[in-house]
Amino acid sequence: MKKIYDTASSALDGVLQDGMLIAAGGFGLCGIPELLLEAIKDAGTKDLTFASNNAGVDDFGIGILLQTRQVKKMISSYVGENAEFMRQYLSGELELEFNPQGTLAERMRAGGCGIPGFYTKTGVGTVIAEGKEHKDFDGETYILERGIFADLSIVKAWKADETGNLVFRKTARNFNPPAAMCGKVCVAEVEEIVPLGSLDPDSIHLPGIYVHRLIQGTHEKRIEQRTVRKKETA
Amino acid sequence: MPWDRNQMAARAAEELEDGMYVNLGIGIPTLVANYVGDKDITLQSENGMLGMGPFPFEGEEDADLINAGKQTITELRRTSYFDSAQSFGMIRGGKIAAAILGAMEVAENGDLANWMIPGKLVKGMGGAMDLVAGVGRVIVVMDHTNKHGDSKLLKECTLPLTGQGVVDRIITNLGVLDVVEGGLKIVETAEGVTEAELHDATEATIV
């Protein structure tokens, strides 16, 4: 089966539908599938729900789909860097479901592993626990959280081979593997597709079984908080 | 004299022991890394890294290498990377010895509120709820009072909780207190601060 597509738009052909649930990798602007998000904007798909740790900034990442009003709901842990997000949320145009960050990651991982629910201590006694099943195990209280089963996963990796085996780079891995695992279809964008056999099989971060479509592209890789220290002069 | 930010961070660093894996929050907790000295401490960044190094030199920033505050950082020889599910697996699984974090309110039963700022837009809890529920020891570093002079150590939190009964120790500009049965117990006071002054600045029950 051929997994490699020429462009982000062609890789998404036939998999986009209004109202679908998309799991997206990335943390802040680090390791986000920026090319696929751009292609979803061009496709004009509407009423999307995104399970994504963050919502990008106004003009980058998921933020570009907020500007075009293509997003109906976000499932996120932190959305602080996006003014347009806040405007739409406060005016009631956008739904928001806050998940603790680890709960969101585990919901994706669980969905990808065929696990519809799991119990966690995270959020017990907080607003997050309201309306959720509580259960005691060995004297401690836990709440039930649901696995996420997404219609589509969009992720960004560093390198891939043509079978979709993925290698990520540094902290750009973040939510990408769990997001990739929980979708019915997973489309990955990478910086480089390398010849078969050139990735060390022992160093594959995500096996190609999770990846259905693949594109290579040039990434802007924007830095959100450039922080440096001064070189000490000897 | 009450402690300043750096003195609070230095005091918090005394909580860390050789060999610990630790998660530091944003603000004063970040400064703790400057005071660990010779102790062998591995810092976790919950976006998927153990062995977090200092900020990069100008020109050496890497968009693929950031901390949980989205700042550019560097790696160390001991560094390892992993995905967010594994990162919070080690947090939830109790593998991280301690988290040092800021707070807006702490109650005498160890309840913590630090994710919704009064009068400001809600940005989200990020990984705070997972951290306080999962790590071995939760150490709060914060000013003893808010900008109106009101105690941040309360009988009950007024803000939405991040975690219930999760705080072990509180380090403020006035001293160090532990959450114990029945209230807070003074461990020490900042140099020149009396126990009476600390009592006066605290709403929570001191036992």
SS (H, E, C) B116-181: CCCCCCCCCCCCHHHHHHHCCEEEEECCCECCCCCECEECCCCCCCCECCCCCEEECCCEEEEEEC
Q: Tell me the shortest Cα–Cα distance from B171 to chain A, in angstroms.
A: 24
What are the residues whose beta carbons fall under 8 Å from the beta carbon of A115, sequence distance 6 or more?
A147
Place of tokens 């005691």: A136
Report how far residue B101's alpha carbon sits from residue B147's, in angstroms, rounded to the nearest whole number.
19
Chains A, B: CB contacts under 8 A, how many? 181
Show residues of chain B in contact with A127, CB under 8 Å: 160-161
Report how far residue B4's alpha carbon sits from residue B9's, in angstroms, rounded to the nearest whole number.
9
Whole-number pLDDT of residue A234:
52
What pTM value is reported for the model?
Answer: 0.96
Report how far residue A46's alpha carbon sits from residue A72's, in angstroms, rounded to the nearest whole number.
8
Q: Tell me the shortest Cα–Cα distance from A101 to chain B, in angstroms.
A: 5
Interface contact B105, partner A, CB < 8 A: no
Find the CB nearest A79 among B61, B65, B123. Answer: B123
Q: Between chains, do A178 and B71 touch, taking CB under 8 Å as contact?
A: no
Q: Between chains, do B133 and A121 touch, taking CB under 8 Å as contact?
A: yes
Q: Between chains, do A124 and B164 touch, taking CB under 8 Å as contact?
A: yes
User: What mean pLDDT comes out for the span A107-134?
Assistant: 98
Interface contact A175, partner B, CB < 8 A: yes
User: What mean pLDDT comes out for the span A124-148?
Assistant: 97
Options B14, B15, B17, B46, the catalytic residue = B46
pLDDT of A10 higher than 90: yes
> For chain A, what percent of residues have pLDDT higher than 70?
99
Q: Write out the two tokens for A101.
A: 């960050």
Interface contact A123, partner B, CB < 8 A: yes
Show residues of chain B in contact with A103, CB under 8 Å: 88, 129-130
Does A202 or A89 have the greater pLDDT score? A202
Which residues of chain B, if any, have pLDDT below 50? Answer: none
Report how far residue B124's alpha carbon sits from residue A43's, in angstroms, rounded to the nearest whole number.
30
Q: Between chains, do B129 and A227 touch, taking CB under 8 Å as contact?
A: no
Whole-number pLDDT of residue B35:
94
Q: Between chains, do A102 and B65 touch, taking CB under 8 Å as contact?
A: no
Report how far residue A45's alpha carbon sits from residue A17's, in angstroms, rounded to the nearest whole number.
6
B23: left (phi over 0), alpha (psi -120 to 50) or beta: beta
Taking CA atoms, B150 is separated from A30, B101, B102, B117, B147, in Å, by 39, 20, 17, 15, 7
Q: Tell me the shortest Cα–Cα distance from B193 to chain A, in angstroms.
A: 35
Q: Tell me the shortest Cα–Cα distance from A97 to chain B, in angstroms.
A: 10
pLDDT of A80 higher than 90: no
A233 pLDDT tier (thresholds 50, 70, 90): low
Q: SS3 string of chain A? A: CCCECCCHHHHHCCCCCCCCEEEECCECCECCCHHHHHHHHHHCCCCEEEECCCCCECCECCHHHHHCCCEEEEEECCCCCCHHHHHHHHCCCCEEEECCHHHHHHHHHHHHCCCCEEEECCCCCCHHHCCCCEEEECCEEEEEEECCCEEEEEEEEEEECCCCCEECCHHHCCCHHHHHHCEEEEEEEEEEECCCCCCCHHHCCECHHHCCEEEECCCCCCCCECCCECCCCC
pLDDT of A22 higher than 70: yes
Whole-number pLDDT of residue A231:
79
Which residues on adjacent β-strands are paired with residue B4? none
User: What mean pLDDT comes out for the span A51-68?
Assistant: 95
Interface contact A178, partner B, CB < 8 A: yes
Burial environment of residue A132 by CB neighbours within 10 A (0 to 12, 13 to 18, 19 or more) = middle
Find the CB nearest A125 among B67, B83, B161. Answer: B161
| DSSP label of B95 | -
Q: Between chains, do B49 and A171 touch, taking CB under 8 Å as contact?
A: yes
Q: Between chains, do B163 and A125 touch, taking CB under 8 Å as contact?
A: yes
CA dihedral for A215, A219, A222, A223, sign (positive or negative): positive
Find the CB nearest B127 among A100, A126, A158. Answer: A100
Show residues of chain B in contact with A126, CB under 8 Å: 129, 160-164
Show residues of chain B in contact with A53, CB under 8 Å: 84
* Contact status, residue A215 vs residue A11, Cβ threshold 8 Å: yes
* Contact status, residue B58 vs residue A226, Cβ threshold 8 Å: no
Q: Between chains, do A27 and B84 touch, taking CB under 8 Å as contact?
A: yes
* Mutation site for B-interface testing, chosen from A82, A122, A206 by largest number of B Cβ within 10 Å: A122
| DSSP label of B19 | T
pLDDT of A49 higher than 70: yes
B46 is catalytic: yes
Whole-number pLDDT of residue A38:
98
Whole-number pLDDT of residue B26:
87
Report how far residue A193's alpha carbon sits from residue A215's, in angstroms, rounded to the nearest whole number.
8
Whole-number pLDDT of residue B1:
84
What are the residues whose beta carbons fall under 8 Å from the beta carbon of B158, sequence distance 6 or more?
B105, B113
Report how far residue A124's alpha carbon sits from residue A141's, in angstroms, rounded to the nearest whole number.
7
* Mutation site for B-interface testing, chosen from A174, A175, A203, A222 by largest number of B Cβ within 10 Å: A174
